[in-house]
Amino acid sequence: MDSEQFGKRSKAKSTENKKFLQQLKRVNWKTVDDFFHRAHEEVFAETDCLACANCCKTTSPIFYPVDIDRASQFLKMKPGDFVSKYLTIDSDDDYVLKKSPCVFLGADNYCSIYEARPKACREYPHTNRKKMVQIMDLTYKNTLVCPAVLEMVERMKLNKEFILK
């Protein structure tokens, strides 16, 4: 699915998916985790992130102090220079990238600071986390960014354990 098709599909499913993920907050968290973790493995086994990179193109990770230290060291820069060159502070008071696509994303969709990328990039899209029910709002937002998350949610809706009223 190309990015235009994904954009159309994710928007078309947006209202339904928001409601579905809200309702999952009422389901036993272990049942939800079991499904998401299994779907995460299955969907990523079929997904080529290098052909996508939509997360790096459209959203910014949060850079915590440890991320700034690691990335600036990798680039042989002073942390303060790294911050002033690449980062800004968002409405939640977190350091994020000044602009999208990410400045470290290459034309080939490789990350030029891959070994030193922020923790948020390593963990994106967070679908193998414990207690997924606590991040349903974030997961909904990620159905609009990440084709793999959209696919996991679509598979979940077909599972009889999750057919909710």
DSSP state at residue 125: T
* Nearer to ligand SF4 among residue 92 and residue 108 (C-beta): 108
Give the nearest distance from C-beta 2 to ligand SF4 in angstroms.
12
Calpha distance 49→61 (Å, rounded): 16
Give the nearest distance from C-beta 42 to ligand SF4 in angstroms.
13
Calpha distance 67→134 (Å, rounded): 24
* Nearer to ligand SF4 among residue 133 and residue 147 (C-beta): 147
Helix H or strand E encompassing 88: strand 87-89
Three-state SS at 154 = helix
Give the nearest distance from C-beta 164 to ligand SF4 in angstroms.
25
Applying CB under 6 A, the residues found at the interface with ligand SF4 are 47, 49, 52-56, 61, 102, 104-105, 111, 113, 117, 121, 124-125, 145-148
